[in-house]
Amino acid sequence: MVNPEHPPARQELGEFMRWLSKRKGITATALARELNTSQPRISRLMGASGGAAFTQEILERWLQLVGASPEEWDRALALLGRVQTDVSSWQTVLGGSMAPVQEDILTLDRAATGIRHFQPFQVPGPFHNTEYAQAAFRAMRPNADPADVAGAVRARMRRGRQLVRRGIPYHAILTELALRFRPASPGPDVRPTVWRQLLKMSANENITVQVIPADAPMQQAPMCAYLIYNFPEDHDPATMVHGVELPAVAITFRGTNEVSAFNTAWDRMKQAALSPEDSRDFISHLLN
């Protein structure tokens, strides 16, 4: 997750490699040619979340091209190791700004070709309207700066519009508890408006919503919220798991074994959930 004082490893690695390249005077076009890849991919690698796309082979060839020192090799390889599992501490999650975190997720959404989102605590962010998002962020961070809440809300609103506009597959599974979660607000209950938003957005062909009823038999307990991202073929890794909205830690997994474990968990949640059609009926019933 983004924090100006302690950037995530993927951001630090991308910025470090951009700095080494600039020092050497080698352009993104030249790097693409030497590394036998595309210039847009090189630009992504040097971007804010670019480190997530590095492989050890690409990194080592890049370090050779820019004439990195032994100390710079050690730093780059250590950052790559950290990128495999990014963990933001509780100080970052609970003490940092919320708006940059939402912007970071928005950037991942923009790069993805498909998203699976499991949420056991509240209605998933892309379905929020302004009132629900404001209440949810205040419940998450009661003492947050109002300007930070406003920035986080704006980013979250863009996420929903972006998913509809881009038309990429977005599949959300949420528990009945998440559906019924009521964040405190100064006005009326904010849930009916977000339930209507769920029904409206799930009418789009690219958006699927499934609900796990509270009394559904489950093979695996829902422990945390997470997103499983699929990326274009030239993006490495092609799949990653981004953990969000945990009480005290934010984690990103890119290793094959970790992603595989989340895929298995996803399949079990999907098995416990109602069909998309029955889920729409379930949500509609809450409005009656």
Please state, in angstroms and rounded to a whole number, the distance separating the CA atoms of residues 6 and 9.
Answer: 9
Report whether 144 contacts 100 (CB < 8 A).
no
Q: Which helix (H) or strand (E) holds 210?
A: strand 207-212
Residue-wise pLDDT tens digits, 208-239: 999 999 999 999 998 889 999 888 765 555 66
Least confident residue range of 9-13, 262-266, 279-283: 9-13
Q: Which two tokens stand for residue 99?
A: 């708006």
Please state, in angstroms and rounded to a whole number, the distance separating the CA atoms of residues 29 and 266.
Answer: 40
Average pLDDT over residues 255-283: 91
Report whether 99 contacts 159 (CB < 8 A).
no
Q: List domains and CATH numbers for the chain.
A: 9-83 (1.10.260.40), 86-286 (3.30.870.10)
- 79 or 83, which is more confident? 79
In which band, very low, low, confident or very high, does the pLDDT at 241 lie, cut at 50, 70 and 90?
Answer: confident
Cross-strand pairs, 85? 253
Report whether 249 contacts 93 (CB < 8 A).
yes
Q: Is the pLDDT of residue 91 over 50?
A: no
Q: Is the pLDDT of residue 142 over 80?
A: yes
User: Closest Cα partner for 169 from 244, 255, 109?
Assistant: 109
Kindly report the backbone phi and psi dihedral angles of residue 239, in degrees, each rounded to the nearest multiple of 5, phi listed first: -140, 140
Alpha helix stretches (DSSP H) within 84-215: 90-95, 98-111, 130-140, 146-166, 176-180, 191-201
